[in-house]
């Protein structure tokens, strides 16, 4: 399974979503929030052209050795991205707010279907992506579902479970796709 590359635009987007402000010209073009569809927001960056939808979880839980655990996490978000200049559509990614355990997978479950997401390495260690060959199938499942649950394991062995509402997902993903044609 190929891990998708970590792109500066994705980092920029993640930081913007976190509410951080940029100073200087490290990123010439940051994405703008252009729409909201219930629980999902649509962002667009002009150069290079990129469109994303993103949502935070509705609930999160952490366990260690089968017992509830208090954990410090960064931003937790589920994304779908479009980059027409790279022929990328329906790229599904997740940031868990912590470095994932090396060699582990993150599992996305929607309805009765489950999909594996593979964590990145190095700076991208807090991110996981579906296989490019699964992206459209995952997006189709997300369109049909009411909620999606992502389960991951941190580098320290903590198991996290994040549940995302899919209310507004179909409208948001179709909006982003149309903006990035």
pLDDT digits (tens, 9 = 90+) for 128-169: 999 999 999 999 999 999 999 999 999 999 999 999 999 999
Percent of the chain whose pLDDT exceeds 90: 81
DSSP string, 60-76: EEEEETTEE--------
Distance of CA 76 to the CA centre of its chain: 8
pLDDT tens digit sequence for 41-74: 999 999 899 999 999 999 999 999 999 999 999 9
| pTM metric for this prediction | 0.85
Domains of the chain: 8-179 (2.60.40.1880)
Q: Considering Cα of 80, then 86, then 89, then 91, what sign does the dihedral take? A: negative
What band does 30 get if pLDDT is binned at 50, 70 and 90?
Answer: confident
Report the alpha-carbon distance of residue 132 to residue 141 in Å, rounded.
15
First-to-last alpha carbon distance for the chain, in angstroms, is 27
Average pLDDT over residues 88-103: 96
29 band by pLDDT with thresholds 50, 70 and 90: low
Say if residue 108's pLDDT is above 60. Answer: yes
Identify the pLDDT of residue 7. Answer: 47
33/4: higher pLDDT: 33
DSSP β-bridge partners for residue 81: 52, 91
Confidence of residue 24 (pLDDT cuts 50, 70, 90): very low
Sign of the CA dihedral with 6 first, then 7, 11, and 16 last:
negative
């Amino acid at each position: 399974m190929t891990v998708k590359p970590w792109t500066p635009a994705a980092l920029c987007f993640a930081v913007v979503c976190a509410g951080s402000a940029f100073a200087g010209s490290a990123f010439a073009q940051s994405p703008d929030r252009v729409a909201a569809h219930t629980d999902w927001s649509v962002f667009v960056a002009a150069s290079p052209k990129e469109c994303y939808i993103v949502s935070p979880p509705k609930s999160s839980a952490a366990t260690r050795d089968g017992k509830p655990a208090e954990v410090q996490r960064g931003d937790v978000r589920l994304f779908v991205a479009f980059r027409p200049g790279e022929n990328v559509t329906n790229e599904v990614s997740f940031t868990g707010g912590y470095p994932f355990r090396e060699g582990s997978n993150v599992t996305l479950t929607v309805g009765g279907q489950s999909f594996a997401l593979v964590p990145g390495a190095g700076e991208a260690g807090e991110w996981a992506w579906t296989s490019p060959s699964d992206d459209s199938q995952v997006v189709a499942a997300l369109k049909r579902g009411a909620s999606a649950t992502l389960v991951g394991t941190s580098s320290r062995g903590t198991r996290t479970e994040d549940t995302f509402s899919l209310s507004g997902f179909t409208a948001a993903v179709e909006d982003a796709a149309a903006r990035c044609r």
